[in-house]
A = this chain, B = another copy of it.
Amino acid sequence: MTNIAYLPVRNTAGKRERTKVANRQAILDAAREVFGELGYETATVRDIIRRTGLASGTFYNYYRSKEEVFDALADDGARRFRPILRAQFEQAADFESFLRGAIQAYFDFLAKEHESWRMNRPAGETFPHARSTPEVVAVFDEVREAFDKVLEREHAPKVDLDYLTAACIAVAREVGDKMLERRPVDTQAATDFAVKLILGGLPALPRL
């Protein structure tokens, strides 16, 4: 009888494998903290790795550069947001409810992440706006696909989907940013604004 319960922690593969995922995660966590405290520009690879207690060389066993670890963080965010977006799509009755659900979800997501990012960052410091990492592109594509399907379902006139997607994401991003600067942070109001702008504009768009 090979009862797994008798073997200590055998349920999570070999030790090598375990420390690998642990290190990768530790670096990611440290990077999130350091970027939050020092700002992206100021932070150095060594600031990040120092916080993990690992040696400097070890960093490069996991990521090639500060940029790559930042992208990994962005990917991480996108990966966590994707299922939320998908859920909104699946339970949405029409375009309006999808749009509202998606934007509301994004703003809530933003507000929640806000804390873990902007912590003590020196004012004025800015992040590189999310790059085109695979997962981020995937979110963009997913939004376009969802738009396509929902508008198709409603027999809405064909419009420039690429522009529409870009515009919607742009509005969500920028209004989201402004929202975070206000006290109190009102995701409801911001959502209402963004949704009504887009929804009102949609019928006026040039047809293809």
A-side residues, CB < 8 A to B, are 41, 67, 124, 126, 128-129, 131-132, 160, 162-164, 166-167, 169-171, 173-175, 177-178, 189-190, 192-194, 196-206
B200 touches A196 (CB 8 A): no
**CB-CB under 8 A for A132 and B128, given A193-B160, A197-B201, A198-B197:** no
How many monomers of this protein are in the complex? Answer: 2
A203 touches B200 (CB 8 A): yes
Closest to A126 in B: B131
Bound CA span A139–B44, Å: 33
B196 touches A201 (CB 8 A): yes
Residues of B within 8 A of A160 (CB): 189, 193
Closest to A203 in B: B200
Closest to A40 in B: B128
Residues of B within 8 A of A170 (CB): 167, 170-171, 173-175
B174 touches A166 (CB 8 A): yes
With contacts A170-B171, A200-B205 known, what are 6 further pairs, Cβ within 8 A?
A126-B128, A128-B128, A166-B175, A167-B197, A170-B175, A197-B202
Residues of B within 8 A of A41 (CB): 67
Least Cβ–Cβ distance between A173 and chain B, in angstroms: 6
**CB-CB under 8 A for A196 and B190, given A124-B132, A132-B124, A162-B178:** no
